[in-house]
Amino acid sequence: MIERFNGGSAAPHDVAIVFVHGFAGDLKLTWGNTPDYLRTEPSLSEWDLFGFGYQSRRRFDILKLWSADARLEEIAIELYSTPELRRYQRLAFVAHSMGGLVVERALVKYPDLRDRASHVILFGTPSAGLVKATLLSVLKQQIRNMSASGEFVLDLRRDWTNLGLDTNPPFHFLAIAGEQDQFVPPESSLGPFPEPVRRVIPGNHLSMLRADSPDAPCVRILADALTNGAAPAGVRSAARLAVEEGEFQKAIEGLWPRRSELDDSGARLLALALDAVGRRQDAIEFLEGHSASGTDVLGVLAGRYKRRWIVERRRADVEKAMELYGRGYSTAAARQPRDCDQAYYHGINLAYLELAYGGDYRAARERAKTVLEDCVSAVSPKDRFWRLASEGDALMILGRTEEAMQKHAEAARLEMDPWQALSIQEQAIRTADLCGLTAEELQRLSDLYEGRVP
């Protein structure tokens, strides 16, 4: 049974959130006000909300007579087969208790559903099973499925691990426990998963889902997880980013098995896709082993080190990034004729790092002058927005703020993918901040890219 929580929509959406209740739960009552509060989140305005329900009663089954509540295997099949969900490019699953086992089973069994999953968020799910369920397993099939020593849980954990979903899931994953939950202890709800994806919120097995305001812990943790830090609209739209991540997953599936055979173009695409879905270390290790024939791959590898430095602030990463950008710049500048397209690409990143890491404004300004010269002489018509954005950043470094704004405004009007717009926006804001632009100017620069991507 499926029911839409946010009513009809004149404009069809590409993404949906699916709430799945637990044992003896209810399609609506389990979640209370939480879906209503999520509907008010601007970043989630492009998502449709559904509740998925199934029969689950407290009374014991009378097997081999008339009927009994379905096993989790059948419920997982029903979830996968629901016609209303098939039209969506990406699905976010939010599940409570036994419902999380249903979701996990469906994802393990159906690769196409796994490919379309953008988020999997489990509240109090007995992923490692319940010891107490063993005592009642002869009385009800669904309880038997939750047994820690039962075939269902053991097979599920084995299959989940064999598919690499513990370490590199193709979706955003969170396992959430209630700090007072005695029905599903943390060794079952959190234990099977790595530390970075574990969360604990106030409440017991049921009260953790009670929300009397948009600031309730269960609402906030869902909103933050589903938006991935997205802003209400524009390049950070959670819906757009979810769809885009799905495309990156498809690229990884096609390219990763033959990664040793890829040319520079394929290597670049694979590395960017890996980085986009959070597999930055895999991207770095792959590019380190790739024999590049051009300087573009050097820049992509440098970019992975730069991004990791921005997050983790390890000196070795920023120095490696500068070394790679420097090598790429020197190679491009030494070519006859000079490869201006690659020179400005490596040059503007060097200028940024000279500011951000070295604090060397003089070197950064000299570098920015050569970037502008290379941009003027660049010949490739491809990805013109990168060139315009590089000119804008170079002009900011040189103190020519209004000219910089004009270049970024021109770049923002061009068609680009959301990840490209987001990358340009972030780099521009970081550069502008280092150059001392006011808060109003920073906001103005950020707004240029919000909502501009077709």
Q: What is the pLDDT of residues 260-317, one digit of tens each?
A: 898 988 998 899 888 887 788 899 999 999 887 788 899 999 999 998 898 888 999 9
Confidence band, pLDDT 50/70/90 cuts, at residue 23:
confident
Do 219 and 305 sit in the same domain of this protein?
no
Which CB contacts under 8 angstroms, 24+ apart, belong to 64-67?
none
Under 8 Å between Cβ of 256 and 286 = no
Q: How far apart are CA 21 and CA 53, in angstroms?
A: 7
Q: Looking at the structure, tell me whether residues 223 and 274 fall in a common domain.
A: no
CATH number of the structural domain spanning residue 18: 3.40.50.1820
Same domain membership, residue 277 and residue 220: no
The residue from 229, 261, 286 where one domain ends is 229
Q: What CATH number corresponds to the domain at position 398?
A: 1.25.40.10
Is the pLDDT at 235 greater than 50? The verdict is no
Of the residues 196, 229, 262, which one is the last residue of a structural domain?
Answer: 229
| 283 and 225 both lie in a single domain | no
One domain, residues 220 and 258 = no
- Per residue in 140-185, pLDDT (tens digit) is 465 777 788 889 999 999 999 999 998 889 899 999 999 999 889 9
Q: 241 in a domain, yes or no?
A: no
Q: Which helix (H) or strand (E) holds 218?
A: helix 217-227
> What pLDDT does 303 receive?
92
Mean pLDDT across 383-387: 90
Q: Is the pTM of this model over 0.85?
A: no
Query: 49 with 179, same domain?
Result: yes
Question: Angle, to 10 degrees, between the axis of helix 72-81 and the axis of helix 98-109?
Answer: 60
Going by C-beta distance under 8 Å and a sequence separation of 6 or more, which residues neighbour residue 318?
305, 306, 309, 353, 357
Count of beta carbons in the 10 Å neighbourhood of residue 265: 11
279 belongs to a structural domain: yes
Q: Are residues 223 and 289 in the same domain?
A: no
Q: Is 349:355 a contact under the CB 8 Å cutoff?
A: no
Tell me, yes or no, whether 259 lies in a domain: yes
**CA pair distance 177, 185, nearest whole angstrom:** 8
Q: Are residues 277 and 187 in the same domain?
A: no
243 in a domain, yes or no?
Answer: no
Is 279 found in the same domain as 201? no
| Phi, psi angles (nearest 5°) of residue 22 | -110, -160
Q: What is the DSSP letter of 71?
A: P
- Residue 325 forms part of a structural domain: yes
**Shared domain check, 65 and 187:** yes
State the CB neighbour count (10 A cutoff) for residue 26: 12
The parent domain of residue 270 ranges over 250-449
* Cα–Cα distances in angstroms (integers) from residue 27 to residues 30, 35, 50, 84, 164, in the given order: 6, 11, 9, 16, 31
Query: Which has the closest alpha carbon to 123: 78, 172, 186?
Result: 186
The amino acid at 18: V
pLDDT at 333: 93
pLDDT (0 to 100) of residue 157: 96
The answer, yes or no, to whether the previous bond of 337 is cis (omega within 30 of 0) is: yes
Residue 242 domain flag: no
Number of structural domains found in the chain: 2
CA distance 330 to 446: 32
Q: Which of 178, 200, 229 is the last residue of a domain?
A: 229
Q: Of 327, 360, 320, 352, which is closest to residue 342 (Cα–Cα)?
A: 327
Q: Are the CB atoms for 239 and 46 separated by under 8 Å?
A: yes
Residue corresponding to tokens 């819906």: 239
Over range 220-248, report the average pLDDT. Answer: 70
Section 194-198 average pLDDT: 92
256 part of a folded domain: yes
Which segment of 99-113, 205-219, 263-277 scores lowest on mean pLDDT? Answer: 263-277
C-beta contacts of 138-143 below 8 A and 24+ residues apart: 139/60, 139/61, 140/60, 140/61, 140/68, 140/69, 141/61, 141/63, 141/68, 141/69, 141/70, 141/71, 142/23, 142/56, 142/69, 142/70, 142/71, 142/72, 142/98, 143/23
Query: What percentage of the chain reaches a pLDDT higher than 90?
Result: 58
Q: What is the mean pLDDT of the chain?
A: 86
Same domain, 119 and 255: no
Give the model's pLDDT for residue 69. Answer: 59
335 with 189, same domain: the answer is: no
Q: Quick check: is 366 in a domain?
A: yes
